[in-house]
Amino acid sequence: MEGSSFDLATATDISTILRQWEENHQVYSFDPVPWLNRLADLVEGETELYMKMDPDPFDDRHPSRSDPTGNLGHMLKTIFKRDTFVNKLIGEYSRENYWSRLGQPDRDVNTLNVAATRLLLDVVPGLEASIVFQEAEGLITKLFSWAEKAPNPLQTYATGLLATAMEVSEIAGNHKDKNMHLVPIMLERLRDILNVFLEEKKKEKITSVRPFAMFQSKSQLKDGTINVESSENRLDDEPDEDPPTDAPSSVEIFAPPKKKIRRRKSRRDDEIKTSASTQIKLDIPTVKEESSNSSWAELEVNLIGTIQIHPLTDSTKMIMIFRYLASLGEYQDLLGHCIEHNAIDLILRSIDLKITGDSRLAFEALKYLSTLLCHKRFVQDFLCSDGLRKLLVIPRPSIAATGVSLCLYFLACSEDAMERICSGDQRVVEHMVIFAMWLLECGHESGRWNATLFFAVTFKLAVILDLFDKNDGLRLLYNAIATLSIFNDDEGPLDEDKEYVEKQSVKHVCSSLKRYFEAHMIRKLQLLAENVGSPTNSYQNMVKDNMYDNIQLLLEFLPFRAKWPAIDRFLSLNGIHQMLKIIAMAYDWTFNGRSETVRSALEVLALVSVYPRAQLALCEKVDVPFENSAVGIHIVLGASEGEIVNDSEVQKAALNAIINCVCAPKYRIGDDVSNMQWGTKKKSRSPEDLLEKMWECVRANNGIMVLLQLLLTKAPITDADSIRALACQALCGLARSAKVTQIMSQLPLFTSGQLQVLIREPILQDKRQEHVKFQKFAIELLERVLGKSKPALNEFDYSLDRIRRADIVAQTRISFNEKQLLMLIQQHLLSRGFGIAADALQKEADLPYQQPRILARSTVVGTPGAARARTFPVNHGASLPNRTVSNCQSTPSNGPSNSPRPTVKRIKTPRALQKAVENQLAPVLKVAPDRPNNEAKPSASLDDIVKEYLMNQHSLCRNPMVTCPEFDLFVPHKCPDPKPRGSAPTNFTMRYQRRALYPPAGGPMGAMLDRHLVYSRYKPSRTIKQGDSDSAFTCATFSACEQFVMVGTQTGDLKLFNKMTGADEATYTCHDSAIFKIEPNRDGSLVLTSSSWRRPLSALWSMGEFFDLKYSFDDEESLEFSKMTQDKVVGTRNEVATIYDVNTGQSVMSLKPTSSNAYTRNQATFNDTDDLILSDGVLWDVTSGKVIHKFDKLNQQLSGVFHPNGLEIVSSAEVWDLRTFHLLRTVPTLAQCVPSFSHSSKIMFGIPLDKEPDDEGMHSDSSFRVLDAQTYSQIATIDIKKSIYSLSIDTDDLTLVLVENTARDDVYGDLSESIVRLYDIGRQKDEDQQAEQEEEEETDEDDDEDGGSHTFSEAMSFLEDIQSLQSDSNSDNGPLSLPSVPSSSVSSYSSNSDSDSSWITEDSDVQDRPSNDEDQGDNDVFSALNS
């Protein structure tokens, strides 16, 4: 039937057997039993070999994944690829009517069912139980029947298959009643089998003789090697003798090198010998490679165990029953049966390896025990049965010891159980801790995980924490991650499963370390409370529920020089660096526990950063595998801005770590300042020195920028308020540094009132509690930045400018004319009908006569003459009591009303002041009802009220002055705007008229106003369009001779266009990718080009008779000539700047910063004297190649350029002083703009960067900015309706060239709409110019005939018109100093200038400069126009 050439009994190839089966299984007389048995034999043989490799018993992965090189996984895959065979095996061979359906009822179906279930049980590791058992109709029902009533081995095989099926919760729920029926049967059957099994083991123990037993010494029999004749394994009540030196005992599978092992053992031995009262005598089977004469046959059963499927053994029967019970152990409905049949007793008898000798049986029993320990009732029964002692005597290493790890973890989850254990026999507790510590180094990942989780849960118990520290447990916990392959540079790429397992280990250890240090923190707080001694002291209730609240308490109360052994040990193990490595490497991880891992690591850093030494460790560099080294604070800051993991909890954990470093108090309780000696050889560090170092470290790693960006965060909306509050708290700590305060005081967040907008409302209304914290720290931050206490303003409604003005007002001495005040009083008396009193005041004070006047707003109340008393809320600046006054009646004056009066001019009383005096007098003069005779006792004088009124007027001044002249009560007060005497008017016509009196520009600031007028107007003069075969334009500049426009294209070509005609003169192929930068030298002999991505990235070309490549620079992303001599170029490659000699092309110097700012658009640049280089925010000395200063990073993209004045650096919106390295100012207009200066150095242009940094050269903004390079005031924003790629200005500052492309989603826009356009500076665009620009028509013939000099001719004609109209003015107005514009544009510019003249006061240097020198210097801008 099978063929004479095929011998089934000797076949070993699964594929061959299955192929033969497929050829023969449809034969009528085919008997599948031999085929199934042969397959089962082969699978069982490979399974036994697989188990001898000691795989993780809790690893339920397919064998092909856990052991890719093994044959078992290959066998299982081969079997399940044969769908016909698998369907037959599950759907037909497992039926009781298989033979009857084939018409062969006489054949034995039981044998077939046994063979089928046996093979099915063997291939369970490759089964997908949720699919197989649900799709097979009737299989589960048949398995229940066989497991209950069938004879063995079918009964056992069915039980094993049911165990696999019941692990699927859906299947278990569908067969709940059947399980209720079967579980008690299984428990009773287990008891019967166990009794028989133990009796047989006892008989074997009596009759068996161990081979070569006579060669074993007595000492070896006592010290714990395998000895079946030894006394009962137990934890004795009293030690009979000292334990052996290697007593705890075990083969340390994953341990450090041998030297470390010996050192650790000797240390532990010393600890055991010095604590005789807690010694434990352990008769525990161990493995001793040095002296053991045991055979592997004896050790295998105790270490690994076996499962013999065929022929069936009692051990296998019990294993299958335990598996079935373990799959149902968590269901509460079945607990009654477990209690009734005393399942705990069955388990404890099964794990006694001294009797059973089967580690695999013990492991399955422990798995069942772990499921029962989820229930409190069984935990108590387990402890009452002295189960913990029996767990702890299980030999290690063994597979059963790995099962103990899971039981210990579930025990730890029960707080009542752990409290009971810790309050009991301390020797048991110590042995439990030692056992768990051994598990931290065992060979199974699951054992290490469970032990790590056990300690994570139990660290809060003081007994376990002490034992853990006593036995150097922190080193073992640290080694659990330090030895992993993912942190080893030498290891190759790991397979996916191993990498996942190691990342899970990292997650568990980080969580455990967090609990460890949290427990130590609580203990440290308790010690501080105990040391105070007074029960009423605030220390007694200092321990909080929130971890971060406790951290803040420790920061405040922990002495600076206090010792903390746990953190010291962690530092000696290099633990902080390991945590930082985990955080940095998690950026590239993808497993689902990444956020939790990073958060736990950051919380560990937050806990240990309370300790000063730990803070110093964060300032050190960390070597990250497969990456460049980085400073620890830099990694934490990256996590705080969501760069590593975009998770709000991770961000908050990182911010808390930063807060601990920068917000620590300068002086702590308990510090003895006298001990801070600096005269000794070894200087001791003070808290202030540490804080200065931390502040500087955070600054150097761009902490200010990161924290300021977090203040503006709005996502995720649920945690944005919390993140803002934490970031603001960190900034408050940083603001204690004078350098940081100086930088912050110039930022728009404080100068423009942005912070007050954030203070007003929370991002999410439900988070008002977090917003209150933010408000608290924001106000504190403002106080520290200003260096003052809270101003007398609304605390949520002030900016730096308002506070400055309020400070000036507060220092102003108010004075006024007292006679004017008496006249006001006289007028008030007359208006109220008190004529006699008014006459008396007039005579005594010698006041001029005033006609009586009744206020129109006064009304009579009650009786005629009774005036209503009006109330007015007293200004918050005056401290006046709030009293009441009754309505007072006035009687007509009895004085002579017709007596002659001197004729005087009537004085008009300001109604505003009169009203204010009346209303502020009212609450002051109010009288309490019970005061006798209604005598009013004012609490403030009239002088105070008037001064308050004048002070309020003074506070409204835009530019208040401290020293003011006497205030006039009849004229509203206003401080004059600061303006130099004889300043030029803002109107151009008036300014031109004054040139004769104030040459050459009509007065101080005149040249500046002329410049603003000229550079606010641009008129298109020439358009260069791409040809049909040309690619898009990317950049443009003027040639050195000013006759050509040099244009770079997307395909790497360099084109020369005639400036006057726009004709294409020449085309050169320079690169294979888009050119984004072209720079010719001054004599036009050399040209630098830089491209986007294909090598060479940059090149130097000679432009003589021929256009030739001189040198290529493959890796330099950008090149730039030196400014003065132009004999050098500086190249940029990421953060590295390299200086090259132009003549040789050789590298002269390479400048690489130790800490990179990582600007995305970094371009190294020389200063005007070629002495300095700025690259990546670092200032270098070209001569020595040393770093001079590193500027704080306040933007992500632009490193900065030197200002032509040689005193400043412009980096995006920030302007830095080169002399002091202080932040001079921020210019929001220049934010994210590439700056370029005119050749006169008086005007600055800015082109906004694109919104997507990854798109090289792409600018999405359609406007460029024009600013005054001296005052940084904005002159104009010119919108051209297209994306700007490049801007350049000619040497005469008369013409601009722009590359304009239509904005599209792709990088370089629409190829058909890429143009280069030239603009005339100072000319107004005509009304029809816009339409002409869109249609790209030719320029007017007049402009062509002028040859580009139309600006000068138009200016001359305009000036002649003005001179003819001004016949009375001086005709000799000096030489023409600037180009003019048509008269139609003068009025519009004047109105704009009048409405915004704040720029005049922004630069005090300009105001104080002598007018003649300033005007002469400013006028040089237009000297080219005068020729």
- The tens digit of pLDDT for each residue in 990-1035 reads 888 888 888 888 888 888 899 999 999 999 988 988 776 668 899 9
Collect all residues with Cβ–Cβ distance below 8 Å to 1404 and sequence separation of at least 6.
Answer: none
Residue scoring higher pLDDT (75 or 933): 75
Q: pLDDT tens across 131-153, in order?
A: 888 877 788 999 999 999 999 99
Reading the block at residue 995, the tokens are 């040139």
Q: pLDDT tens across 569-624, in order?
A: 999 999 999 999 999 999 888 888 899 999 999 999 999 999 999 999 999 988 88
* Distance, CA of 801 to chain centre: 32
Q: How far apart are alpha carbons 391 and 352 in whole angstroms?
A: 9
**Closest residue by Cα to residue 1111 from 1146, 1135, 1136:** 1146
The predicted model scores a pTM of: 0.74
Q: How far apart are alpha carbons 1140 and 922 in whole angstroms?
A: 82
Q: How far apart are alpha carbons 74 and 854 in whole angstroms?
A: 112
pLDDT for 540 equals 43
Reading the block at residue 1109, the tokens are 């490549």
Burial 1180-1206 (b: 16+ CB within 10 A, else e): bebeeeeeeebbbbbbbebbbbbbbee
The band of 103, judged by pLDDT with boundaries at 50, 70 and 90, is confident
Return the number of other C-beta atoms located less than 10 Å from residue 700's C-beta.
18
Q: How far apart are alpha carbons 512 and 723 in whole angstroms?
A: 26
Is the pLDDT at 183 greater than 90, yes or no? yes
Is the pLDDT at 1181 greater than 80, yes or no? yes
| CA atoms within a 13 Å half-sphere pointing along the CA-CB vector of 1174 | 23
Q: Helix (H, G, I), strand (E, B), or coil: what is residue 425?
A: coil
Residue pointed to by tokens 């009908």: 833
Q: Helix (H, G, I), strand (E, B), or coil: what is residue 128?
A: coil
The band of 5, judged by pLDDT with boundaries at 50, 70 and 90, is low
Q: Which amino acid is at 102?
A: L
Q: What is the mean pLDDT of residues 97-118?
A: 89
The torsion angles phi and psi of 1410, rounded to 5 degrees, stand at -60, 140
CB of 1145 closer than 8 Å to CB of 1152: no
Q: Hey, what long-range contacts does 899-902 have (CB within 8 A, 24 or more apart)?
A: 901/849, 902/848, 902/849
Mean pLDDT of the chain: 77
Residue scoring higher pLDDT (684 or 1329): 1329
CB of 179 closer than 8 Å to CB of 166: yes
Is the pLDDT at 637 greater than 90, yes or no? yes
**Strand 1147-1151, strand 1243-1248: pairing:** unpaired
Is the pLDDT at 874 greater than 70, yes or no? no
Residue pointed to by tokens 């720029």: 1399
Q: How far apart are alpha carbons 382 and 369 in whole angstroms?
A: 9
**Strand 1223-1226, strand 1086-1091: pairing:** unpaired
pLDDT for 13 equals 87
The torsion angles phi and psi of 116, rounded to 5 degrees, stand at -70, -45
The band of 1137, judged by pLDDT with boundaries at 50, 70 and 90, is very high
pLDDT for 1178 equals 93
Q: Tell me what percent of the residues of the chain surpass a pLDDT of 70.
A: 73
Is the pLDDT at 1427 greater than 60, yes or no? no
* Distance, CA of 1202 to chain centre: 32
- CA quadruple 1117, 1122, 1126, 1127: dihedral sign: negative
**Closest residue by Cα to residue 969 from 792, 1180, 828, 1098:** 828
The band of 787, judged by pLDDT with boundaries at 50, 70 and 90, is low
The band of 752, judged by pLDDT with boundaries at 50, 70 and 90, is confident
Q: pLDDT tens across 453-474, in order?
A: 999 999 999 999 999 999 999 9
Residue pointed to by tokens 């600037």: 1378
pLDDT for 371 equals 94
465 sits in the region (left: phi over 0; alpha: psi -120 to 50; else beta) called alpha
Q: How far apart are alpha carbons 644 and 624 in whole angstroms?
A: 14
Q: How far apart are alpha carbons 957 and 138 in whole angstroms?
A: 93
Residue scoring higher pLDDT (1289 or 5): 1289
Q: How far apart are alpha carbons 461 and 522 in whole angstroms?
A: 11
The band of 1283, judged by pLDDT with boundaries at 50, 70 and 90, is confident
Q: Helix (H, G, I), strand (E, B), or coil: what is residue 1216?
A: strand
pLDDT for 686 equals 81
Whole-angstrom CA distances from 557 to 44, 519, 541, 1158, 1246 are 66, 17, 13, 39, 52
pLDDT for 782 equals 87
Collect all residues with Cβ–Cβ distance below 8 Å to 1088 and sequence separation of at least 6.
Answer: 1077, 1078, 1079, 1080, 1098, 1099, 1100, 1101, 1119, 1120, 1121, 1129
